[in-house]
Amino acid sequence: VGEREKVYFYDFVKVLSHFRPINKNKPHPWNTREAKLRFAFTMYDLNKSETITKDEFKNILQMMIGSNVSEDQVNSIADRTMREADKDNDGYITFQEFCHCMEKTEIDQKMS
């Protein structure tokens, strides 16, 4: 959290709450679809600029798949993702664009 070197229990619980199934009968602000999307978005927004660049996406993708995929393949995936997600072609994926791309994804189930 921030530039701290420690994680406090409150912050730890808040992060874990994003992975609980959504209870529609008893909603909690940390565990809504939007909160889950925001959490996922921040995982890609490495410089905390409120946008995701192609380089940020490539860095995360490379960390997730390691050396199993060539750099050309990673570039190809990043290019295709940016073409599909960056609706206004400004070179960034905003949170709204990210949410639009995730409309058909069952994020509440995938993050549970």
Query: Would you call 2 helix, strand, or coil by DSSP?
Result: coil
Query: Would you call 7 helix, strand, or coil by DSSP?
Result: coil
Determine the angle formed by the axes of helices 71-85 and 54-65, rounding to 10 degrees. Answer: 130
Transcribe 42-78 into DSSP letters. HHH-TT-SSEEEHHHHHHHHHHHHGGGS-HHHHHHHH
C-alpha Rg value of the chain to the nearest Å: 15
pLDDT in tens, 17-41: 888 887 888 888 888 889 899 999 9
Averaged pLDDT for residues 83-106: 95
Phi and psi at residue 89, to the nearest 5°: 55, 40
Judge contact between 98 and 37, C-beta under 8 A: yes
pLDDT in tens, 74-93: 999 999 999 999 999 999 99
